[in-house]
Structure 1
Amino acid sequence: MFVIEPLTERCRGYLPTATHVCIGVSPFNSYFTTPRLRRLADWALTRFESVHFFVPDMAAAHTLRALGYDLDRARHKARRQGQYVHNKIVTALRALGVENPAGLVWGMDRLHHTPRYLTLFDEVHQRYEADESFGKACLDASHWVLEHKLPPGTTATEEQLREAVRYFLAELPLFIDAGGIAGHRVSFFVYHQRVAFLERFFSRELSVRPTSGQGFLIVREPARDRADEQLRTEAVPVQEAARGLG
């Protein structure tokens, strides 16, 4: 059903003992159709003891602000799109017979009431401010996101990057210890793309590192299946989001 690729050899070593998986779902990315989410959920529920979906819903307001939205509109748009994505995940899980499917979805509000997440959130922000090399790596990751959203020939300003990086910093605790947040020792974070920052992060090249037992899996459908899916892709309800926000 899926091509499974551990990001590093260390990650590969966690496969036999991992009991938890957290699937990242970007709010403004049309890749995450309801049928695809259902297939992902089916794979995850079959393979792992515990499953969560992570939607950085309200954190997406920072990316929107970096793209020029005023504060109120950015928050409204992020909230509306976040709810839409939450509903798609719940629909996918309910179709598989999951009881209380909403309980398997982590949004920002829920995470901000989770002690382990809050601890990591504070630590990440402190390191971002104190460690120039780590801070630059985070800004570079945000630049990668913004360069696909800005008009051709436009480069993100420092002000835009410093706003956009707040989205990335909100995600980082999940890369560090999604398992610990869920109460599991060995865990994988799942996404369908390689990201240069995460290559370095899970290779333990940065001053902030994943906890022992936290891995990363690239999980994607074979190319032929992806091409077929493109023909059936659901329209994103927010018109401006058609290009996606990562």
Structure 2
Amino acid sequence: MLRPLPLTEHCADPLARAEHVCIGISPFNSYFTVERIADLARWAMSAFQGFHFFVPDGPSAFTMEALGYDPARAAQKAQRQGNYTRNKIVRALQQVCPSDPNTLILDAAVLETDPAYLGLLSEAHQRFALDPEFAEQCLGATNWVLDRRLPEGEHPTRDQLRSAVRYFLAELPMFVGTVAVAGVSSSVFAYHQRVAFLERLYRGELSWRPLPGQGFVVLEQAIPEQAVPERVE
């Protein structure tokens, strides 16, 4: 059983309105099995008027580059993993949802032509370039992501963080403005883990604020489970 917890007080109203939820599905993460994705879809269908899955497949190449892959190889691995992840979502949706699965997945192929997303992505990069405090917060969030993918005892270098942060910047538009991307008046982004950056974002402690009607919820399982990053070879 899934229980959505508003990340901050700001997030309670979009959750209560139950208009739309966008569920993040991370590539290279074994937590997201077909069965679990199907459970997420069932929950979304029962609790909200509409929903999407967000898959940052293309941007995951930036993480691969930070781990030492050359850009061509990184893009190849990201595409392969993106296809694998997308196929899992399609299989899950075919089990539980009468809609065309392709209309419910927001991946790089969809978002790279979406004006709302591209506008927010441009703003994310501008703020990273011009606002040192915002940039440091983004690098801190990137450290949280990248550190778990390195061998035990190793930690990301500054250069690795500045390379990998492009992945986080590509996610930010969905945290700030899924309402604009999905064309709805209220929405919550849903994920199963807390991120300190997002708590500060939704408490209004950063220079960038979520759009009106935008919230974030942490999904709790009845029995807590730990995400395990898949090995990158």
TM range (shorter): over 0.9
Is 1:242 aligned to residue 230 of structure 2?
yes
How far did residue 98 of structure 1 move?
Answer: 2.3
1:96 maps to a residue whose letter is V
CA distance in 2, matches of 1:173, 1:64: 21
Give aligned pairs, total. Answer: 232
For residues 98-117 of structure 1, the aligned pairs below 5 Å read 98-117=98-117
How far did residue 18 of structure 1 move?
Answer: 3.2
How far did residue 114 of structure 1 move?
Answer: 0.6
Which sections of structure 2, spanning at least 5 residues, go unmatched?
A: none
Residue 72 (structure 1) aligns with: 72
1:69 maps to a residue whose letter is Y
2:126 maps to a residue whose letter is Q
Residue 170 (structure 2) aligns with: 170
The answer to whether the 8 Å contact 2:189/2:215 transfers is: yes
When the two chains are superposed, the root-mean-square deviation of aligned CA atoms in Å is 1.7
1:242 maps to a residue whose letter is E
1:176 maps to a residue whose letter is V
Residue 127 (structure 1) aligns with: 127
The answer to whether the 8 Å contact 2:179/2:211 transfers is: no
CA distance in 2, matches of 1:98, 1:141: 37
Q: Secondary structure at the match of 1:14?
A: helix
**Identity percentage of aligned residues:** 50
Q: Secondary structure at the match of 2:29?
A: coil
Residue 236 (structure 1) aligns with: none
Q: Secondary structure at the match of 1:52?
A: strand
Deviations 1:187-210 (A, max 9, x none): 000000001111111111000111
How far did residue 153 of structure 1 move?
Answer: 2.3
Q: Could you say if the C-alpha distance between residues 97 and 186 of structure 1 is closer, same or farther in structure 2, counting changes exceeding 3 Å?
A: closer
CA distance in 1, matches of 2:46, 2:152: 43
Q: Secondary structure at the match of 2:17?
A: coil
CA distance in 1, matches of 2:175, 2:14: 15
Residue 41 (structure 1) aligns with: 41
2:177 maps to a residue whose letter is D
Deviations 1:57-105 (A, max 9, x none): 0100000100011111111110000011111111111111322111100
TM-score, normalised relative to structure 2: 0.95
How far did residue 42 of structure 1 move?
Answer: 0.5
Q: Secondary structure at the match of 2:16?
A: coil
Residue 138 (structure 1) aligns with: 138
The answer to whether the 8 Å contact 2:18/2:47 transfers is: no
How far did residue 5 of structure 1 move?
Answer: 0.8
